[in-house]
Amino acid sequence: MTPNTEYRKAARYLAERDPVLRRIIEQVGPCQLRRSSNFFLTLLEAIVWQQLSWKAALTIHERLLRTIGAPRPTPADVLRTPVNDMRAAGLSRAKSGYLHDLSARFEDGRFPRRRIRLLSDGDVIARLCEIKGIGRWTADMFLMFGLNRLDVFPAGDVGLRNALAKRYRLRNASNMKLLEAISRRWRPYRTIASWYVWASSDGMPFEDDS
């Protein structure tokens, strides 16, 4: 089954189970989620986006690419870029170090790029969280946007929680029990449902830094 066919199937399933989501799907149209063809760039971008608003992260990411000197940098490109230069582009010292560590893992083969698609969601999260600077939010973003796993609910994402509170008229966007209850209606397509909620409100991924 092609991704577009799977997304249409998911949208029909979600619309039948959740009236709020049905209206969102009608408003947004076909799901545009795309599977990444480059795991390194997916993780690099997720690290840049950590604890930043979408607009701020986008600006820093663009500066970083100019600093590195490549629109699609390789691990070797990042390793050649001094930490101080990345900091001048707007990255923190910690994130600059995380990108160097990530790049080194891709360069020396410690990152299982060929086998990672075969791992369960739990095993992917465990492997990623071994990497300096990667926590559950970044791992969830990789599952969704890197591996295109269809049943991920990124509860640590502020943008999603705020959008859910608005769409479902919740008083408290931090009521995790209620948010989890809503997301259970969406199984086994929580990724697709989350994408639609993001897309409907421009509440793009934004990690909870609390």
Q: Which pLDDT value is given to residue 101?
A: 95
The yes or no reply on domain 3-34+151-201 and CATH 3.40.50.1100 is no
- CATH topology for 39-146 is Endonuclease III; domain 1 (1.10.340)
Q: Which pLDDT value is given to residue 210?
A: 38
DSSP letter at 131 equals S
**pLDDT tens per residue, range 92-114:** 999 999 999 999 999 999 999 88
Task: Provide mean pLDDT across the span 139-160.
Answer: 94
CATH topology match: 3-34+151-201 vs 39-146:
no
User: pTM for the full model?
Assistant: 0.88
Domain boundary assignment for the chain = 3-34+151-201, 39-146
Task: Provide mean pLDDT across the span 48-75.
Answer: 93
State the first-to-last Cα distance of the chain, in angstroms, to the nearest integer. 39
